[in-house]
Amino acid sequence: MKNALSMYWKYCFLTISLLFSAEAFSQNQPSENKAEIKELDEVLISNNTGQKRKKEESLNVETVNNSFIQRNLGGSLMQSLQKLPGVKTISIGSGGSKPLIRGLSFNQVIVVENGLKHEGQQWGADHGLEIDQYAVNRVEIIKGPSSFIYGSDAVGGAVNIKPLPLPLQNTFGGSVDLTGKSNNAQFGSSINLFGRNKNWFFDSRVTTMDYGDYRVPTDVVHVYSYAVPLYKNHLRNTAGRELDFHLSTGYSGENLKSVFYFSNVHTKSGFFANAHGLEPRNVDLELHDKSSRDILMPYQQVNHLKVSNTTSFQLGNHAFEMQIGFQNNFRREYSHYVNHGYMPPIYPEDMYAPKDLERQYDKDVWSFSAKDEFRFNHHQITVGTNIAGQENAIGGWSFLIPSFTQFNAGVFVYDKMELNEKWFLHGAVRYDYGKIKMKSYYDWFQSPVSENNQTQMQYLQRSQDLTKTFDSFTWSAGINYNPGNLAIKANLGSSFRMPIAKELASNGVNYHYFRFEKGNPNLDAERSYQLDLGIEWNQQNWSFQLTPFVNYFPNFIYLNPTSAHDIYYGAGNQVFEYEQSKVFRYGAEFQTRYYFLKSLSAEISAEYLYSEQKSGSKKGYTLPFSPPPSVLLGLNYEPQISFLKEPYFSVDYRFTAQQNNIVPPEKKTAESHVFNVAFGSKVKSGNQDISINIQIQNLFNTKYLNHTSFYRLIELPEAGRNIIVSMKIPFSFSR
């Protein structure tokens, strides 16, 4: 770890030296030879870069900007993106969620922020995404296998958070974002400051949020067989706090750009008190119901630190880019110590972990990537490499996964060939190598072991020293055809994913699910083959898009419930073991928009997914967290009002079909009907436009279940009516 940090700071020092040398060299040149940079103000064009990329990329890509996020603001970034077809979340209360793309999530979907693969504890259903959505300017959602770009874990797709645009030359400014939400009494603010002279710039942001327990449209929840009353409809102990800091700074010249990026996201949030641990009855209701804003046990504290430098420069026909990064994800989960199994009734005073520290995960990740993009005749070729190493340490009195180290490296070549303005061909190959080394772990307490009619007390071994290596070739081939208003695309590709430590070596009670999870050290790398198609039509008042896909896994990794029950670590919890099976999946997304008038339009978005296990003990069943079919109907009105800029009114209705195609222990989920309304505008204030947006989510306070929710197993309905008011106040000065 120290060597990695030392290498990082040496790299930073060399980069800064290079930048100052470039600046000094530029200033010392004779005036007649000195390059003059002229930067134009922003120009808006009708055919934006997002539409252009969709026409030239064979993968299905959706792009949204910060205006879309602000208009659809949710409790987290992924909740704000759920309006996109094929994109769902595994929600963890009101302040956290993880991406679900076409029914795949966890380590099958990666998140990239400013070119750096986000590395948290993404294996846990209760572990949200440590991303500040106020710091997001533009997001690309890549649906389908993306391993040829990102390597392991991009089996289901990617969420690519693009870097912020650089400030204009000789400017100083910023913005203030204010947000309030009625359901959980949230108030938040985010302050942005930026500045730039000719070549040097900075962009900074501080975000803070504070929210209470969120409310659901019911006064009782059944945690398995136990009825839990809810005080004033509040889901006790789901309050939270968040404090984020971001800073990007660097140099941008004619042929050289170098950006240093620093961010720190810190959250503290409670777990629903009646759905954690082995005994939901032992909850002090009077203590929890005194306040809806306090955070009592059980709760989690997460701090995610990112530091990176991205340097790009032009050399002839070649565009080079290099990035070095470091991340630390420090997660602590706190809960009252309650002995179970053969744990001692009184917590030992000389224990290495605090009494209330249930689990701790400390992950360090360093990474390096480089790529060269150049043109050769009609070919646009990209050659690149990615290298990453991680060290993961554990703590606390409860065990689920062992400490481990991991190394990944990959090289790739991608070629986009432009035959003419209508035809594009794509081809890519990639090779990856990975190694994971897990460490042994013994219980800190003794358990009785019977052998030869004799019983002895022993420290049971939960994990063994284990080293696994994996390697894989992946490939992708695609085509685009764009005759006029029509765009047609097809892509066939393969992906792979290394098994993670939880799948290989877990051996403990998952208190969020009341089950015992056991890893399988014999798992092979997960592989996937997928065919993606796309057809899109655009004309002046009407557009539509259809994106079907077919997907096959010869060895999908999943957690399978067995008939066994553990006898050492809980109240006879059912044992779930990781296995592999053949899986066949297909589905499609459909979008259409029609303009009745220049200011009045209607849209329809629909999605469908089918998955089936073709082998193994769950043959014939679907996969966990498979979203049911859904249709979103929307009506948008954008009138011309003289004293307002870009006003809008919208209402949408989402119909979600019942989900009867389940895999045990999942439960069937009934259909739901949910209405949302939104309106807003920009108001002129001096030379700035103040944006005001208001949403009313779940307008009629409908009680319904979300099949992909973290709390679905305990019949917990989604949040009730939520009024969200957000305001963005920009300011800027030019010199």
Token code pair at residue 702: 């409908």
Provide DSSP, 34-48: ------PPP---SS-
Backbone φ and ψ for 713, nearest 5 degrees, come out as: -65, -20
> Can you name the residues that pair with 558 across neighbouring β-strands?
579
SS3 199: coil
Q: How far is CA 290 from the centre of its chain?
A: 34
Convert the pLDDT of each residue in 475-488 to its tens digit: 999 999 999 899 99
**Alpha helices (H) along 37-164:** 49-56, 66-71, 77-80, 147-150
Convert the pLDDT of each residue in 523-561 to its tens digit: 999 999 999 999 999 998 999 999 999 999 999 998 888
Token code pair at residue 154: 């991009």
Contact 412, 428 (CB under 8 A): yes
d(CA 399, CA 382): 44
Contact 679, 699 (CB under 8 A): no
**Alpha helices (H) along 384-482:** none
d(CA 634, CA 649): 11
d(CA 625, CA 510): 17
Contact 11, 19 (CB under 8 A): no
Convert the pLDDT of each residue in 323-370 to its tens digit: 999 999 999 999 989 888 899 999 999 999 999 999 999 999 999 999
- Measured over the CA atoms of residue 712, residue 714, residue 715 and residue 719, the dihedral's sign is negative
| Mean of the per-residue pLDDT values of the chain | 88
d(CA 107, CA 452): 44
SS3 297: coil
Maximum alpha-carbon separation in the chain: 96
Closest to 676 (Cα-Cα) out of 735, 720, 620: 720
Contact 691, 680 (CB under 8 A): yes
User: If you average pLDDT over residues 361-380, what whole number do you get?
Assistant: 95
| Extended beta strands in 482-573, E state | 486-497, 507-510, 515-518, 526-538, 542-565
Token code pair at residue 458: 């022993």
Share of the chain above pLDDT 90, in %: 66
Token code pair at residue 553: 């896994």
Contact 673, 653 (CB under 8 A): yes
Contact 214, 184 (CB under 8 A): yes
Provide the pLDDT for residue 116. Answer: 93
Convert the pLDDT of each residue in 459-469 to its tens digit: 999 999 999 99
- Residue length, the chain? 735
Measured CA angle at 457 (ends 453, 459), to 5 deg? 130
Q: pLDDT at residue 16 above 50?
A: no
- Measured over the CA atoms of residue 438, residue 444, residue 450 and residue 455, the dihedral's sign is positive
Token code pair at residue 30: 């004779």
Amino acid at 507: N
SS3 613: strand
Provide the pLDDT for residue 46. Answer: 40
How much is the pTM? 0.90
SS3 25: helix
d(CA 534, CA 64): 19
Tokens 């208003």 identify what position? 485
